[in-house]
């Protein structure tokens, strides 16, 4: 496996997720919120990719022939459905334990996914061939240098490519709901999972990428309905949101 470069990763966050790596695929375990969150993420990714690449939504594997990078892939909760949609998937994570969990689960399901213990900047430095799609989901709030990290991810995009960024907004509402409520009141995630000061305003995403040859759109808000227990797209981006980053075709 490629050794993880230390420049963008936050060792404390890597260690925190490594300790609970075995629980990635337990829908009732510590990653239960991600299992509930996954349907709205998958629908958004599929919708954006279909539009970007003009693929047939009725096809069994509409994205055959396209390369996808799932950066910060964890246990593979997004990598596996992406592979089933036809993408040639590379999953990258700074935690060897996460990669071990992801590789084992994919093998059990008969899926061929190129999992690597590495980082975005290590891929750039190695001259990795660019990807048609880069998934950057709930990762940027955990890295040491979000600007450098995001620019490295953008440089891994092929001409005509699409990156999707999902993160948390730095607002009083997100402090109350995503930090205090989720970690200490509802205990959806372990205490200390997030550092509210690392949450990002959508405008900061745009500033980080202002000198890159890409176009940024969004935010696209996502909200949780406690009555239905489901996440849905929303005009409210005060807590969770997604953005799209596209590189013009050559």
Peptide bond into 226 cis (omega under 30): no
* d(C-alpha 37, C-alpha 245), whole Å: 21
Tell whether 93 is in a known binding site: yes
* d(C-alpha 176, C-alpha 34), whole Å: 19
In the chain, count H helices and then E strands.
8, 8
Q: 221 pairs with which residues across the strands?
A: 234, 241
Contact yes or no for 223/203 (Cβ under 8 A): no
Which residue from 90, 117, 86 is spatially nearest to 101, judged by alpha carbons?
117
- Please tell me the number of Cα atoms within 13 Å of 46 on its side-chain side: 21
Contact yes or no for 174/201 (Cβ under 8 A): no
Which residue from 6, 74, 8, 13 is spatially nearest to 41, judged by alpha carbons?
74
Which residue from 85, 43, 81 is spatially nearest to 64, judged by alpha carbons?
85
Tell whether 72 is in a known binding site: yes
Binding residues are: 41, 72, 93, 137
Per the annotation, where are the binding residues for S-adenosyl-L-methionine?
Answer: 41, 72, 93, 137
């Amino acid at each position: 496996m490629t050794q993880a470069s230390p420049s963008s990763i936050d060792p404390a966050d890597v260690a925190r997720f490594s300790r609970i790596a075995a629980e990635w695929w337990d829908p009732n375990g510590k990653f239960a919120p991600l299992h509930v969150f996954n349907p709205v993420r998958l629908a958004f990714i599929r919708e954006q990719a279909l539009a970007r690449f003009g693929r047939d939504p009725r096809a069994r594997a509409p994205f055959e022939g396209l390369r996808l990078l799932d950066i910060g892939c964890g246990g593979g909760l997004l990598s596996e459905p992406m592979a089933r949609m036809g993408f040639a998937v590379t999953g990258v994570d700074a935690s060897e334990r996460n990669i071990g969990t992801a590789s084992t689960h994919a093998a059990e399901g008969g899926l061929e996914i190129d999992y690597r213990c590495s980082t975005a900047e290590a891929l750039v430095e190695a001259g990795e061939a660019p990807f048609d799609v880069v998934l950057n989901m709930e990762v940027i709030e955990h890295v040491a240098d979000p600007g450098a990290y995001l620019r490295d991810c953008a440089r891994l995009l092929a001409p005509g490519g699409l990156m999707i960024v999902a993160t948390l907004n730095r607002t009083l509402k997100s402090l109350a709901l995503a930090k205090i409520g989720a970690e200490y009141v509802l205990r959806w995630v372990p205490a200390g999972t997030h550092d509210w000061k690392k949450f990002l305003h959508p405008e900061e995403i745009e500033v980080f990428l202002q000198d890159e040859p890409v176009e940024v759109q969004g935010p696209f808000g996502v909200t949780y309905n406690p009555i239905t227990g489901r996440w849905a797209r929303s005009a409210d981006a005060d807590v969770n949101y997604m953005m799209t980053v596209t590189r013009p075709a050559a």
